[in-house]
Structure 1
Amino acid sequence: MSAILHLAIPAGDLSRTVKFYTDVLGCALGNGEEGRWVDVNFWGNELTLHQSKEQLPTVRHDVDMGAVLVPHFGIHLTQDDFDAVKHRIALAGLDYIDAPYRRFKGDKYEQETFFIADPNNNVLEIKCMVNPQLLFPEV
C-alpha cells in the first residue's frame, strides 16, 4: 500500500503558480496536460495544480498560537530543507502570511512553522519538528 498523499487544488494562472512551486519551493514537476493541470513532487507527495479561475475562501480558526487560516495544507521538512525554503522565499521577496515562529517550546512536539500563500492564494503551512519521529508514534 502506498503512503503518498494526492491533493488537487485550483492554481489560477497555472504557469505563474508552477513557478512558485518550482522556483520558490524547489519542487519538481511530473505528468501534466499543457495549460490544464500539472503534477508537482511536493516532497514525495503528488500535488496536482489545475488551471482555474476560482480561489478557495479562507477563514481564521483559533488554535494555541493564535488564529490560523483554514483551509491550508503543508509539509513537515528536515531542518536543512526547511531553512532552504525560507532562504528561497527571502530571495523571491515574498511575504509570509504568518512569519516563522516556534510552537510548543520545550515540549516533545516543539516545531518551527510558517504560513505562506501560493499565487492563487492557496495557503501552505511549512514546518520542521524537533522530534519528527513523535508525530505519529506507534501504538
Structure 2
Amino acid sequence: MNDLAPFHLAFPVTSLASARAFYGELLGCPEGRSSEDWVDFDFRGHQIVAHLAPEEVRAAAAHDVDGDAVPVRHFGLVLPMDEWQALADRLRAAGVRFVIEPHVRFVGQPGEQATMFLLDPCGNALEFKAFADPSRLFAK
C-alpha cells in the first residue's frame, strides 16, 4: 500500500476514564494531549480524540452487509492478517462482547475480508478488518 496521511477523528464519550481504559489499555493506543474534556490517542499513526459529550452518544443504526447487522456509524483499522488474528484473540481473552464476531465475509469474492465489530464502553462501534491480499482493499 502507499504511505497514507494520518486521519483525525473526534468522537463523543460518556467517560474519559472508560475511553482511556479501552483505547489506551485494551487496544494499546498511546495517549497524547488531553484536557478535562478530551483526550487524544495514537490509533496506529492516526489521531483519534475522545470528547466528553454524553449527550452526543447514541446507538448506531445498522444495515445488512453479507448477512450481518453492521453498525452504520463506525470506524476502525485495516490490519495485516496476523495482527488482526492476534487482536481478535486478545479481545476474546479480555472477555469483550462482539457486535459481530470475528469471521471472514464475502468469501470467494474480490472483497473477501476478515472482520469483527465491537463497541467501546461508551457505545461507539469499531471495526477491525484484514485482507489475505491487502491490494484487494478496493477491489470490485
The 2-side partners of 1:80 and 1:25 are apart by 16
Deviations 1:44-101 (A, max 9, x none): 1111011122313311112233321111111101123212221221232111011011
User: Which residue of the partner structure matches residue 44 of structure 2?
Assistant: 43
Can you give the 5+ residue segments of structure 1 that lack an aligned partner in the other structure? Answer: none
User: Which residue of the partner structure matches residue 19 of structure 1?
Assistant: 21
Deviation at 1:136?
4.1
The 2-side partners of 1:77 and 1:91 are apart by 19
Q: 1:90 aligns with which of 84, 89, 92?
A: 92
The 1-side partners of 2:90 and 2:7 are apart by 24
The 2-side partners of 1:104 and 1:136 are apart by 13
Amino acid at match of 2:108: G
Deviations 1:95-122 (A, max 9, x none): 1011011112123322110100001000
Amino acid at match of 2:106: F
User: Which residue of the partner structure matches residue 109 of structure 2?
Assistant: 107
Deviations 1:111-136 (A, max 9, x none): 11010000100000111111112324
Amino acid at match of 1:81: E
Using the size of structure 1 for normalisation, the TM-score is 0.87
Tell me the number of residue pairs that the alignment of Structure 1 and Structure 2 aligns: 135
The 1-side partners of 2:99 and 2:77 are apart by 16
Instruction: Judge conservation of contact 1:11–1:51 (CA < 8 Å) in 2.
Output: yes
Secondary structure, counterpart of 1:20 in structure 2: helix
User: Which residue of the partner structure matches residue 33 of structure 2?
Assistant: 31
Q: 1:75 aligns with which of 54, 74, 77?
A: 77
Can you give the 5+ residue segments of structure 2 that lack an aligned partner in the other structure? Answer: none
The 1-side partners of 2:92 and 2:16 are apart by 22
Instruction: Judge conservation of contact 2:84–2:130 (CA < 8 Å) in 1.
Output: yes
Instruction: Judge conservation of contact 1:102–1:113 (CA < 8 Å) in 2.
Output: yes
Identity %: 39
Secondary structure, counterpart of 2:48 in structure 1: strand
